[in-house]
Amino acid sequence: MKRIYLINTPEYPSLGTNYLFNLKFINTFSYHGLECNEITDFSTFNQLEDSEDQIFFLCDNFYDHRRPSWKEDFKFLAEKFSKSVWIFWSFHNVLSILYEDDLFPFKKSIFTGEYYRNPNIDVLGKNFEYYINLKNYVPLPFSAGKHPDTLEELWSKRTDTHDCGFCGCQYKVDWSRKLSEKYNCFIHYYPPFLDEETRLQKVFLDSKICLGFNSDHAVENGMPTERVFEGVAYGCVVLTDCPMAVEATDGAAVLVTNYAELEEKVEYYLNNDNARLEKQKQGMEFAKSKGTYYSVVGDFLKTIHEIYKEKK
C-alpha cells in the first residue's frame, strides 16, 4: 500500500468530532509508510487513477442529507476505482436499508465503525448486528494518536500543572463543576474545538489525572471514549465512568461509579505519588503494546492484505 485518501467533500462530508477522529486515524497510516491525503472536492476523483496500492475512506455522514445522484456517484466510484480498497465507516444502514434490494457495487471493501465492546442489539438494531458479523468488518477502537516509539519523549513535556483535565462533549458536567471548586482543573467543552497541540498539552501533559467521562450510550454499550486511551498513553491516571474502559486498557484505567468515589480517587492519586507512578507505568506498557492507532491500523492493513490475496 502506498496511499490513503480521506473523503471529505460537501456531498460526502466527515463532520464534527467524526472528522477529528477520522483524520487522526487516517494520518496514522503514515506510520506504516503510506502517503495520507484528503479529498475535499468531488471533481478530484476525475484526476486520480485506479491502483491496487491505494485506499479510500468514506464515512456515513452523508446519510441524512443524500443528494439525488448519490447512487450514481457510488456506481461511478466503484467502477473507476475497482482495484482500490474502500474503507466504509458506520455503513450498517447504508447496506441494510439503502442497498437492501441492490448489490453493493464496491468490489474491495472493508467495513468498520464505532467499536462497541458490549453492544446492546436491542438499542443498536439488527442492521448493526448483521454489519459487525460481516467477514470484511474490522473494529475501529478508540486509541491514542501518537506513535508508540515517541511516548517516552512526549512524557518529558509533562508539567503536572493541573490536578485534573477534561476536554470534550458535556459529559458529567456536575462532577466536573464540583471537582473544579475544590481542585485545580482544566475543563473545556466543545465547541469550540481546541487546536491539537493545546489539547494535548493542557488536557493530558499538564494534568495528573484525566477525567475519562463518557456518554450514557457509550457506557451502556461498552465503548470507552478516545480520551481514556489518550490519558493512559500520555501519562495520566485515568478515572472513568465506563466499566469496559478498565478491561479495554488492561486495567490501567480506574472505574468510578459516583461523585463521592470520584473525589475519593482524585484525593488518593494526588496524595500518593507511588500509586500514581505505578498507574503511569501500567498505562505506558499498555499503550506501547496495543493502545495506539499504530496497532489499530496494523490490523486494518493485515485484513486488506488478506483481501488482496483473495481477489487476485
pLDDT for residue 4 is more than 80? yes
Higher pLDDT, 303 or 279: 279
Task: Give the tens place of pLDDT for each residue, 144-161.
Answer: 999 999 999 999 999 999
Taking only the tens place, the pLDDT of each residue in 248-275 is: 999 999 999 999 999 999 999 999 999 9
User: Which CATH fold would you assign to the domain 148-289?
Assistant: Rossmann fold (3.40.50)
Q: Residue 164 pLDDT > 60, yes or no?
A: yes
Residue 308: pLDDT above 90? Answer: no
Is the model's pLDDT at 310 over the cut of 90? no
- Residue 288, judged by CB atoms within 10 A of its CB (0-12, 13-18, 19+), counts as middle
Over residues 183-225, the pLDDT tens digits come to 999 999 999 999 999 999 999 999 999 999 999 999 999 999 9
Q: Tens of pLDDT along 84-143?
A: 999 999 999 999 999 988 899 999 999 999 999 999 999 999 999 999 999 999 999 999
Q: What is the pLDDT of residue 307?
A: 79
pLDDT for 312 equals 45
How far is the C-alpha of 69 from the C-alpha of 82, rounded, in Å? 20
Sequence-separated (6 or more) residues with CB below 8 Å from residue 130: 92, 95, 96
- Residue carrying the nine cell digits 495520566: 236
pTM confidence score: 0.92
Q: What's the first-to-final CA gap in the chain, in angstroms?
A: 15
**Which architecture, in CATH terms, is 3-143+293-311?**
3-Layer(aba) Sandwich (3.40)
- At residue 101, the pLDDT reads 82
The ranges of the chain annotated as CATH 3.40.50.2000 are 148-289
pLDDT at 74: 97
Place of cell 460526502: 12
> Above 90 in pLDDT, residue 1?
no
pLDDT higher than threshold 60 for residue 311 = no
Give the pLDDT score at 234. 98
Give 5-44 pLDDT, tens digit per residue. Answer: 999 999 999 998 899 999 999 999 999 999 999 999 999 9
> Starting from the edge strand earliest in sequence, which strands make up the sheet with 35-39, in order?
35-39, 3-7, 54-59, 85-89, 109-112
Strands of 254-255's sheet in order across: 185-189, 162-168, 207-212, 237-240, 254-255
